[in-house]
Chain A
Amino acid sequence: MRALVWNGVNDLAVETVDDPTLINPHDVVLRVGLTVTCGSDLHFIDGYLPGMRPGDVFGHEFMGEVVEVGSQVSRTKVGDRVTVPSFVSCGECWYCSRGMPSLCDTTNPNAALQQPVLGYPGGGIYGYTHPFGGYQGSHAEYVRVPFGDVNCFTVPDDVTDVQALFASDALATGYTGAVFCDVQPGDTVAVFGAGGVGLMAAASARALGAGRTIVVDRLPERLDLARAQGSEVVDYTAVDSVQEALREMTGGRGPDAVVEAVGMEGHGTGVQHVVDRAKQAVRASTDRATPLREAIMACRKGGVVSVLGVYGLTDSFPMAMVTNKGLTIRSAQQFGQTHMAAMLEHVQAGRIDPTPLATHTMPLEESVEGYRLFKEKEDGCVRAVFRP
């Protein structure tokens, strides 16, 4: 089959690779319908996150049709149109049975690579670095999905392929982050980053009862999307201080919760940013963590900072702000399986619509160019969707 492979830092190619097959009895194989770029891929494409191997098929946000089922698969049937959260859940372990599927205790074949860094390894993910399992990714014609009955969610007829696609990750992540905000009716939630994840976090926060959402970014087309979905916006390049802009918009009190949806490639302004950029350029530091610091600064006292952006071993963390402001920090890789039923209901009811994230759709053969557009944020690209 054809697939998009990582051959090295900033070196991607569409190549012919072996078709996946059923290996374990709970596996299914999907014919990939749609698969999409994610900000998380940029971390290893740019070489900030180690653990890829040349020839790795990547991609972890996808939907498709079931074409093969293993001997122990009962609920999922050949022909089902399904969406699949990015992390592999077993449905049986302590974490999976308590709504934390990305923390699964059994699905990471390379757990021993992750344990030294995390203490306790997390679950596997499709098409990511090898410490996350080394599973084949979704930027391909077919993909193997372990524990098909746990991870394949049938898409209702009135939910489109594109909506189902984003329920796999961008929406699943944004929704998870909004749930972390513990939204009370009427709350104000600020979101740093208007990528797929941030836009979905804002939409989810409103669906969960937030009175106002304020999205911070610098890209006009993304801020337009945020506005169109009902958020107020701050262009951080157009204000002297994002902090003051947020204070002014919230009567001097600050947002009740702040979602950080940028991650380690985040841009920033000011002196700290210059220092961070310099350290990162010479690889003295893996991340700048500028948006994380800004999110922590922006949150009102006693509020929640929900961190969705992915960081490495960030070398300076403003703990004093967390303690002295009495903040709650919550973070996780998305809990898509836990929230899937609720997310699909919100989509069906029109309260959340991920469709506008699909600014570019193209054949898989053009996916190298798709990643370029996505990475450079060219041509208003929010997400490049591939049709294998």
Chain B
Amino acid sequence: MSGPRDTIASAVRGAVQGVAGKVGEVVGRRSSGAQQTLTVGRPVDDVAALWRDPAAVRQALGDAGTVEADGDRWTWRLARPGSDEPVEWRTTLEEGGPSTAFPGSSVVLRWSDPADASEAASELVVVLREAPQDLGTEQVVRLDLPVPDLAAGAMALTLGYRARALLMTGEVPTITPQPSGRSADR
């Protein structure tokens, strides 16, 4: 017999795994990757500009890591769950227009390591196209990062969500450094 905590926790786990699995099917890649699609109420050009701006991407990353860019060479230091040592990931940003993999897309941004040509190479892909009904931009974040034990579905959502918040409101919602669980002496 499991308690409601367990029930909900396992529902959450199941759903996270479900999301990751679906992405595997949809994208036809390894199931460790994840994809999350959100509508952003801003034009495609504005959303694309945010993703091309390392400072903005750094803000969207938040506690998940940091990134520095030198031209189209982006170096990421990604937080690794359960470890103080970040994972360094050197990538090149490639930009494409409408692609066959994503019919109708207006902008495709892809960060990956050009030295790693393997089938299983890590990547971060952001696909932007006009959302239906003039609602702005349909933003697809797909990632498969070189971070062990990463909850990839949650990470894809968090990145996309924070990017949207930044575009809509000029800030990223945060409780850092002030979480509701307090550490002050009592």
Contacts and interface: CB of A to CB of B under 8 A. Distances in A.
B184 A17 contact: yes
A105 B153 CA distance: 18
Select the residue from B39, B169, B185 with max chain A CB neighbours within 10 A.
B169
B160 to A, nearest CB: 9
B170 A134 contact: no
Contacts of B173: 24, 88, 106-109, 124, 133, 146
A146 B12 CA distance: 27
B83 interface: no
Given A106-B165, A283-B3, A21 B15 contact: no
Contacts of A24: 171-174
B36 to A, nearest CB: 8
A23 B169 contact: no
Nearest to A110: B175
Interface residues of B, number: 46
A318 B183 CA distance: 45
Interface string B1-13: 1111101110110
Interface in A99-149: 105-109, 111-113, 115-117, 121, 124, 127, 130, 133-137, 144, 146-147
Nearest to B63: A109
A117 B12 contact: yes
Select the residue from A26, A116, A147 with max chain B CB neighbours within 10 A.
A116
B161 interface: yes
Contacts of B118: none
Contact of B180 (A56, A93, A121, A284): A56
B182 A3 contact: yes
Given A48-B4, A112-B158, A133 B184 contact: no
A168 interface: no
Interface of A: 3, 5, 15-18, 20-21, 23-26, 47-50, 53-58, 72, 88, 90-94, 105-109, 111-113, 115-117, 121, 124, 127, 130, 133-137, 144, 146-147, 282-284, 286, 312-313
Interface of B: 1-5, 7-9, 11-12, 14-16, 18-19, 39, 41, 135, 151, 153-155, 157-158, 161, 164-165, 168-186
22 contacts: A16-B184, A16-B185, A18-B182, A23-B178, A24-B174, A26-B171, A49-B4, A50-B8, A53-B180, A92-B168, A92-B169, A93-B169, A107-B165, A109-B173, A112-B161, A115-B154, A117-B8, A130-B180, A133-B173, A134-B181, A136-B179, A147-B169
Given A18-B184, A25-B170, 17 more contacts: A16-B185, A18-B178, A20-B178, A26-B171, A57-B180, A93-B41, A106-B168, A108-B161, A109-B173, A111-B158, A116-B153, A117-B8, A124-B173, A130-B180, A135-B180, A136-B179, A313-B8
